Amino acid sequence: MTYKEEFIAFMVRSGVLTFGDFTTKSGRKTPYFVNTGNYKTGAQAAKLGDYYAACIQEHMPDGITCLFGPAYKGIPLAVSAAASLYRNYGRDLPYCFNRKEAKDHGEGGSMVGYKPQDGDNVVIVEDVVTAGTAVRESIELFKQVAKVNMKALIVSVDRMERGTRDCSTLDELREDYGIKPAFKMVDTCAAEFEAQTPYYYSTYDTENEAAEELHLPQVGELAPHIPAMRRHLADAFGLPVEAVSVKATTEEHLGFTGEGLGIAAHAVALIQPR
């Protein structure tokens, strides 16, 4: 099992990733919900740092000056990732985070921890990207602190939400700030592990390994396969074929499935007492 697959299971065990029928803040329907506020123990923080460190080590084994965690949820992520990078890979990277309100006494300023310098290569460590507000604010903040290079954005889950224009939030960040995202995908549609929807590890780099591989089947393409799908499901559960129903829908253009950004599978079982 890869660290990405382990991470999905870890989110489920921690109560961070749940499945059902949810409505996002933007009003879109989604079959899953991610609440990183449910990480609350020392063991979870240590393990979470290990996963972020593994992602950073895989994509950026060198060339990083410091990690930055946007307040508030990004703070423990940057701290735990920095600790895991040192513990697991011997990389002693400084970290910093911002105050929501600049301090006007003592040392003052809006940054805590490492003080970024001109020319530094900074990696933003974030939990979930939806509208990209925290990332935008972070980039604008650094313009007032030092002339740094935003080398990467590491996130645990990309919600694949549409931005303010006719593209995803991450595409907007790429266009607005000249950074090139590459998606490291854990594709549940390819049955890499049992789950309901694709997840993405995102890092801003120079490649997109999903672009040429992901094909989203349409309802018409699935229809010829439904009889075989029913037979296989019936065999697996020991049921008569007529007890199994398989349906496909376009989602009426709602959510990430309706917008053609991914596909989702749902299973519903009717259980009756004997």
Work out the average pLDDT over 177-183: 54
Q: Which residue has the higher pLDDT, 260 or 189?
A: 260
Our answer to whether residue 103 is catalytic in this structure is yes
Domains and CATH numbers, the chain: 3-209 (3.40.50.2020), 215-274 (no CATH)
Q: Using an 8 Å Cβ cutoff, are 78 and 126 in contact?
A: no
Residue 200 has pLDDT above 50, yes or no: no
Q: Find the catalytic residue in 40, 103, 147, 225.
A: 103
DSSP 103: E
Work out the average pLDDT over 13-34: 79
Q: Which residue has the higher pLDDT, 236 or 109?
A: 236
Residue bearing tokens 């809006």 = 110
The answer to which of 1-5, 61-65, 220-224, 226-230 has the lowest mean pLDDT is 220-224
DSSP 19: E
Query: Taking the model in full, what pTM does it have?
Result: 0.65
| CA angle, 176 then 177 then 179, to 5° | 120
179 pLDDT tier (thresholds 50, 70, 90): low
pLDDT per position as a tens digit, 93-132 = 999 998 877 666 656 578 889 999 999 999 999 887 777 7
Percent of the chain residues past pLDDT 70, beyond the cut: 67
Q: Which residue has the higher pLDDT, 188 or 219?
A: 219
Q: What is the pLDDT of residue 96?
A: 95
Q: Find the catalytic residue in 25, 100, 105, 143.
A: 105
Our answer to whether residue 40 is catalytic in this structure is no
Q: Which residue has the higher pLDDT, 258 or 3?
A: 3
**237-241: long-range contacts, CB 8 A cutoff, minimum separation 24:** none
In terms of C-beta density within 10 A (0-12 exposed, 13-18 middle, 19 or more buried), how is residue 180 classed? exposed
